[in-house]
Amino acid sequence: MAELLGDPDVMRYMPGDEPWPRDKAERELRGIIAEWGERGYGRWAVVDDADGAMIGWCGLGYLKELDETEVAYLLDRDYWNRGYATEGGLASLRYGFGEAGLEKIVALAFPGNAASRRVMEKLGMSFEGVIHIWKLDLVKYSITREELLSTC
């Protein structure tokens, strides 16, 4: 995970847009583990079936600033444009609406992150607008349980 979060290309569209040092990656991992205990959801490691290497993450995260839950995905650049983000995003939405009992899930991205926005649209999410959060302007998409069920 530290290697993934230390890659400048991977981190280009993350808040702060710079690679994370190992200690920040370790804090993030501890936060992911804690969120599972606190909320019953969080992010999963995405693993390459061929060699078992971690190639990214996907899942859900609570955004206290918005009091909403976000679907998130982050992949090693060698695995971009292969459908993994969409597959992981859909599994995350199903888990959120099924196991976690959520009614609405959002997604955030930099306006210029066309790849992430395409994933959100493939997931059936609707554009809500541009919001200002963490000193950044981000696009916000959302989907409700009923909207997902109507597309599956």
**Side-chain half-sphere CA neighbours of 61 within 13 A:** 16
Give the pLDDT confidence score for residue 12 in this predicted structure.
Answer: 66
Query: Which backbone phi and psi does 44 adopt, to 5 degrees?
Result: -110, 155
The answer to whether the Cα torsion of 121, 136, 96, 47 is positive or negative is positive
Query: Per-residue pLDDT averaged across 127-140, rounded?
Result: 94
pLDDT in tens, 57-103: 899 999 999 999 999 998 888 888 899 999 999 999 999 999 999 99
Residues above pLDDT 90, as percent of the chain: 55
pLDDT of residue 23 exceeding 90, the answer is no
Which residue's entry shows tokens 């982050």? 74
What's residue 13's pLDDT? 65
pLDDT of 19 reads: 72
- What are the structural domains of the chain? 2-151 (3.40.630.30)
Residue 17: pLDDT band by 50, 70, 90 thresholds?
Answer: low
pLDDT score, position 29? 80
